[in-house]
Amino acid sequence: MSAAFGIKKMRVETRESPVHGTGVFAAERIPRGEVVLSIDDSRIVDDEHPMQEALGEKPDHCDYLPDGTTVLMATPEHYINHSCDPNVFAYSVCKRRFAISLRDIAAEEEILWDYSIGAVGGDVWTCRCGASNCRGLHKCDFFALPEQRQLEYLPFLDPWFAQLHEPRILDLLRRRAEPLAAGEVRQGP
């Protein structure tokens, strides 16, 4: 248990991933809505504390916090791979971040998150996650997702992200509400 937060750090392990390189895997069954792990954002990368590639520190293991701080994600979280069908999302509170399960995760299942949740204007690459709903060409940008996927992800946005992008999220909701106000009935997603 973490003394500061009273949260059990779930057991995970790293090993070769069928998605990409090294991945993070559940060492036990993790129920939906549980903290999978606490994310260590203690390694700040800045002019006074530059990245040390000779020690294995890599730019693709960096994350960017809402206050503009760049952090080098620690092991195991920097090995969490992307999937268009994720099973975890990141949630921040009191300047701490946690990976939380979106659904039940079986023991031995790879821990995956969608890199687009909580990102804007990120890189573009060919996705090879293998999910049945794989988007193929992945842009690391929440607002580049199909509108239906944005709506599905709304409950899982970090509070800081939702607040920072409130006008864009409100526009999304208004666009989706207009047909309903006009009396139209939506058929499926």
Could you read off the pLDDT of 134-184 as tens digits, one per residue?
999 989 999 999 999 999 999 999 998 999 999 999 999 999 887 665 565
Per-residue pLDDT, 76 = 92
Dihedral sign from CA coordinates of 157, 38, 23, 30: negative
* Model confidence, pTM: 0.84
Sign of CA dihedral 56, 61, 62, 65: negative
**Domains contained in the chain, CATH given:** 12-181 (2.170.270.10)
Distance CA 144, CA 51 (A): 30
Confidence of residue 11 (pLDDT cuts 50, 70, 90): confident
Taking 60 as the threshold, does the pLDDT of residue 90 lie above it? yes
Percent of the chain past pLDDT 90, that is, above it, reads 58
Q: Residue 8: pLDDT band by 50, 70, 90 thresholds?
A: very low
The angle subtended at Cα 164 by Cα 163 and Cα 168, nearest 5°, is: 90
> Are 99 and 89 spatial neighbours (Cβ–Cβ below 8 Å)?
yes
Confidence category of residue 85, pLDDT binned at 50, 70, 90: very high
Instruction: Please state, for a pLDDT cut of 70, what percent of the chain lies above it.
Output: 88
Stretch 53-79: mean pLDDT, rounded? 83
**Closest to 122 measured CA to CA, from 180, 165, 64:** 64
Would you place residue 4 in the very low, low, confident or very high pLDDT band (cuts 50, 70, 90)?
very low
CA R_g for the chain: 18
Which range is least confidently modeled, 8-17, 43-52, 134-143? Answer: 8-17
Using alpha carbons, list the distances in angstroms from residue 150 to 65, 81, 89, 162, 177: 21, 20, 14, 12, 14
Mean pLDDT for the stretch of residues 113-131:
91
- Return the pLDDT at 1: 38
